[in-house]
Structures are given as structure tokens and as C-alpha cells.
Amino acid sequence: MEKKRYWLKLDKNFLKSPQIKVIKNMPNGKDYIIFYLSLLLESIETIGHLRFSNLVPYNEEMLSSVTDTNVDVVRTAMKLFLELGLVEILDDGTIYMTQVAQMTGKESESAERVRQYRLRKKEEEQKQLMLHCNDDVTKSNNNKEKEEEEDKDKQSTENNEDKHKKKQQRMLKNEGGIPNGYQMDTQDSIGNDNLGEDSITNTEPSLLLVPDNSNTKELLAKYEQEFEKLWELYPNKKGKTKSLSKYILARKKGTTYEQVFNGINNYIEYIKKNKILSQYIKHGDTYFNNQCWLDEYKETQAQRTKNDEQWDLLKGVYDGTIKIN
């Protein structure tokens, strides 16, 4: 069976989040944070679910042994994590880490091989491009030198012809070879034809012109204007360029502006109701890439009550009105 690699994605403001700041400022707070990170890593392959086996759930002593943490630290930390909503104990005793699903990345071995292959291919293409550019520069320099040599030869030939002509004119004049009634013409005669300037044929290669599809341009401009309105509305503005391309692709496939607009408003309402912290709001490119406007954000009264209780507890611990033993 193909192996998969998992990793934990921490937001750069992880240590500044309200829950972690509360924990960090408590006695043994740093030990609690290290223990919390250990639990996250232990549960990463099971998407946040921690059990010793199918039959036996973890107890405090087991967690102490697995994470190499003092058992007293484990007891206090688990109580604190439960009250802050960072962990939950399910009916069968399973410990559920509530934030793991949002913080986990994974990749199969085959996906890694493909990614490495594409990286190597890109590097090779860049090398070939550099070599091609060097060849073009060399050819350009050679052509320039050749043109300069040809210009010198042409100029030298013209100078020699001019000197020879003047020499002949001087000889004729000195020998009295110019008949009476005539004067010396020192200019070359130029033959005129009857074609005129408009008859000159342009021998340079013609350019290939691609018809301008004005309808396509107008449609793309419309999509971009729609996206700017949606982007102004969306709460986490990360990855704008990628988000724009995904929105245009979705519109071409039949998604309407109203669908996306309503979806974003529903998500914003969900964020407000659940008091979701800013670091856990989906990045813009994640939202548009996954077409999250199709998601349903429904919440039961019990869930709303629990979220409100956790938020009140967090504020109380932070401002000192609630103390945790």
C-alpha cells in the first residue's frame, strides 16, 4: 500500500491566537503548548482522533508516556484544553483534536514523485531557455559583425570608385578632352522609370494577424469587474491572482455571479455566528479553488450554544474573571 506523508500547517500567528496566549501566560504554559503540539502530531494521520487501540482509549498515564510529558502537566493541560474547546472527549472515550482537520496537509509518495519530476522538468526547461538565449545573442553578435564588415567593404568600394572617377575627370580636363559648349557632369545619371512609389513591392514577410474577438474581451472584462466586487466582500484576501483565474473558469462553466455572491455572504454569516478567529478563515484562493460557495453552513441551536459558552469562557480566562485550577 502506498505510503502518505502528513505535515502540520501552523499559521504564523499561531502563538498570538487568544487560546494559545491564555495558555502561554499560565504557570507551566509553555509545557502545555508543547504537549498540545505533541497531541496534534499524534493525531495527524487519523484527522484528529486519538485512541490507543480500537478497544482501549488513551488515559492520562498513557498520554504522559506517549508524549514524554509529566503526568501532572497532562492532567491540568487536558482539563484546560477541554474548557477552551481545543479537544473533545467522544462517547467512546476517543480524544478529538478540534483544529487538526484545518491544520493538516498530506501527500502520497506518487504525488511527491510527480511534484519532484515537474520541478526537475521546469529546471531543465529553464536551462534550455538560457542556452537558447545565449545562442541567439551569439548569432546576433555574429550577424552584427558580418553586417559591419559588409558596410566597410561597400564604403571602401564606393570610395575607390569615386577616386577613380575624379582622377579621370582631372585627366580629361588637363588634356583638353572636353569639347566646347559642354561642361563636366560630376553627378551620376539616375535612370527614372514610370512606376512611381506605389508600385514598389514590399518583400518583407507579412505578419500573421489574429482576428480580435471583441466579445471574448468584453466577457472577460465583465468577469473581472464581478470578481473585484466579490474580492472586496471576502474577509481573508490571500491569493487574489489565483482566485481570479478560478472564478473566471467557474463562470465559463456556468456558475453565476449571484451564486458566488450569496455563498460568500452565507460564509460571512457563518463566521460571525460561530465567532471564528481570523487565522481559521479560509484564504481567498482556497475558497475559490474549492468552489466553497456551494457549501452549506447550517448550525444547530446546540452547536451555537456550545460555541457561545466556549467563547465566554475564553474571554473570562483572558481578562481574569475566570480562573482555572
* pLDDT tens track for 40-79: 998 888 888 999 998 999 999 999 999 999 999 999 999 9
Residue 322: Cβ within 10 Å count: 13
Tell the burial category of 118 from Cβ atoms under 10 Å away from its Cβ (0-12, 13-18, 19+): exposed
Q: Write the pLDDT tens digit of every residue in 145-192.
A: 778 888 887 777 777 777 766 766 665 555 555 444 444 444 444 444
Confidence of residue 199 (pLDDT cuts 50, 70, 90): very low
Chain length of the chain: 325
Residue type for position 44: I
Beta bridge partners of 4: 108
The three grid cell numbers given for residue 18, joined into one nine-digit string? 487568544
Q: What is the pTM of this model?
A: 0.36
CA–chain centroid gap for 70, Å, is 43
| Backbone angle region of 143, left / alpha / beta, with phi > 0 → left and psi within -120 to 50 → alpha | alpha
| Backbone angle region of 93, left / alpha / beta, with phi > 0 → left and psi within -120 to 50 → alpha | left
Residue type for position 192: N
Percentages helix, strand, coil for the chain (3-state, rounded to 5) are 65, 5, 30
Residue 251: Cβ within 10 Å count: 19
Asked if 222 contacts 214 with a C-beta cutoff of 8 angstroms, the reply is no
Confidence of residue 231 (pLDDT cuts 50, 70, 90): very high
Residue type for position 141: N
What pLDDT does 166 receive? 73
Sign of the torsion angle spanned by Cα atoms 162, 163, 168, 170: positive
Q: Write the pLDDT tens digit of every residue in 108-149.
A: 556 556 667 777 888 888 888 888 776 666 667 777 777 888
Sign of the torsion angle spanned by Cα atoms 209, 215, 218, 220: negative
What pLDDT does 31 receive? 94
The three grid cell numbers given for residue 12, joined into one nine-digit string? 504564523
pLDDT above 70: residue 207? no
Residue type for position 140: S
Asked if 103 contacts 9 with a C-beta cutoff of 8 angstroms, the reply is yes
Asked if 63 contacts 117 with a C-beta cutoff of 8 angstroms, the reply is no
Residue with cell 489574429: 210
